[in-house]
Amino acid sequence: MEQDLSQYTNEELLIKYKHTKDITIKHELVMRYMNMVRSISIQMRDVYLSFAQVEDIVNEGVLTIMNGIEKFDPDLNVKFETYISKRIRGMIIDMARKQDWIPRSVRKNAKEMDNAVTELCNRLGRFPTPQETADHMNISLEKYQETLGKSNVYSVLSLDMVLEAGSDNKKMVQLPSINEDDQPEDHYLQEEFKEVLVSAINNLKENEQKVISLYYMDELNMKEIAHVMSVSEPRISQIHSNAIQKLRLHLTNFIDGK
């Protein structure tokens, strides 16, 4: 007799599957999270469009969900939505890294911009304006914004790697415990890193904070954010690029102990 699974919440189905391993329940869970896969795939399409289509990412996302259902532990007090969203994003970024598709010129320009911003930060005691950075690099503001836009995806991937470095800080002393939350040094460093990240976000301009929130928390794409904020999509891309650059430099300095 076919089960009526509609009466169960997602959380209840996850627990039920852990106990029964009923494939029907697993398929139901996958279907329920399909919209999340598609939403994240569309939001992050700038990361992979040069080497994959949305449907390719959705298919990979389905496999990620199926694998996540097997590995997820409901007793860890973490929402499955949060857990699987992170895994899907990680899957997309891993695909981009393996492709090594970012042109050397983009990497070179991004590094030059970072060096210019860092030098000006040290000299001015604050984050420089785009015009100040452009003047320092002896290029026009338009050229600077164009270069920043092209390095936008590179900056996002770099920020992701910085976040991973922060959460997996190698300087910590490992204590004999299989539970990371039981390791005082680990817990302290994770909390410190969270505080630094929150501080970095709070130091962004108001419009930059809003774009970061809409993009990463509400998972809107650039076009949707432009509609919400009533500005052009290219302008949203500029704001996002500036915010990501600031966050990445701030977090990199923290990890490097500067």
What's the topology of domain 5-99?
Rna Polymerase Sigma Factor; Chain: A (1.10.1740)
CA atoms within 13 A on the CB side of 198: 6
DSSP secondary-structure letter at 22?
A: -
Q: Please, what CATH class does the domain formed by 104-255 belong to?
A: mainly alpha
Q: Indicate the helix (H) or strand (E) that contains 113.
A: helix 104-124
pLDDT digit string, tens, across residues 151-171:
665 556 556 555 554 444 433
Residue type, 213: S
The Cα 151–Cα 156 span in angstroms is 9
As to burial, measured by CB atoms within 10 angstroms (0-12 exposed, 13-18 middle, 19+ buried), residue 178 is exposed
Query: Other CB atoms closer than 10 Å to residue 135's CB: what's the count?
Result: 16
- State the chain's mean pLDDT as an integer: 77
Domain layout of the chain by residue ranges:
5-99, 104-255
Query: What is the value of pTM for the model shown?
Result: 0.52
pLDDT digit string, tens, across residues 40-84:
888 777 677 777 888 889 999 999 999 999 998 877 778 898 889
* Cα separations in angstroms, 20 against 17, 45, 62, 147: 5, 36, 21, 54
R_g (Cα) of the chain, nearest Å: 21
pLDDT of res. 179: 38
